[in-house]
Structure 1
């Protein structure tokens, strides 16, 4: 797999530049009632999924800034949701570890990415953890994060358990990074990650 890409990127959204999505007001109540809280924790949730109601998150401090609506939006800090305009790119075999889960935004069908499982790609020999007062920092876990290229099994989009709630992609054909760049999709930012 490692010969199919040369670069790895962390994936993020910029909440000060583009709008984020949030569950509609009643969603947490419905989830509590059914005993199915929404968690993007690496587990498959396709079999228990029902269409999730989402809406644009407008905070009072940024409401006056007229933030743009992205093509791929962050769903809070949990995951990413792709618009109907570009969902066709991801619905036909995007990644073997990706579940695309239907969301409803004002009667439009958007799809949330659920990354199932974790790649074991953190290179402990080259990574430098951020230690404060003898304990790992909760804010910035790493002074330097390095991934092992050969340990990346899912180049399209993946997560690493030890890193926390962060997503990664590569420059492989059909990866999130490549599809976003080739189709000029707005909403995601990519930061290069060191690999060995």
Structure 2
């Protein structure tokens, strides 16, 4: 373990308060044509990455007209992207398991977080899976999710395979949570996860 911590948090965005990002239509067309759909699946993308064009995902409804621009935005359901204002906080060795991949938002350089690999932090003994009709729920996988603190090797930002697309962080001094709190960065929400 690289840095001591007491708490673990899930990382989420709030689509009812902040704008989300999406790949531009041109990017999606290129990916479909080349058969290379963008997937943040725990594998490294650094060597094959080219600058990704992104736009604000704006829904033309009255309910979404007052959404704020975040400092860190969700990119679809797959990752988060940090603005040029705060990217220097993450570009110099933030975490050994996180690649920061360049995106272009209307001429500005934003950076997508690609978390490489998965932690084996789920405590099966203390977690309770959500079973519906004899099968695990695909939407809400756990009634109670508990992590083993001693199994977390990358406290800055990590993923757990059993938890799906979700990202997690801790209250370690160099973690995403601590950096966001210290600098007042807007766009992310943190929900504490039980630990043993």
User: Is the TM value for this pair above 0.5?
Assistant: yes
Distance in structure 2 (CA, Å) of the matches to 1:25 and 1:63 = 24
CA displacement 1:123-170 (0-9 Å, x = unmatched): 000000000110011111100000000000110000000110000000
In structure 2, the partner of 1:5 is 5
In structure 1, the partner of 2:192 is 192
Equivalent residues, number: 196
SS at match of 2:25: coil
Unaligned runs of 5+ in 1: none
In structure 2, the partner of 1:177 is 177
SS at match of 1:4: coil
CA displacement 1:49-73 (0-9 Å, x = unmatched): 0000000000123565321000000
SS at match of 2:179: helix
In structure 1, the partner of 2:45 is 45
Distance in structure 2 (CA, Å) of the matches to 1:174 and 1:159 = 17
TM-score w.r.t. the length of structure 1 is 0.97
* Cα gap change, 1:3 to 1:176, in 2 (>3 Å): closer
* Cα gap change, 1:130 to 1:83, in 2 (>3 Å): same
Distance in structure 1 (CA, Å) of the matches to 2:34 and 2:47 = 14
TM-score w.r.t. the length of structure 2 is 0.97
Distance in structure 2 (CA, Å) of the matches to 1:63 and 1:44 = 37
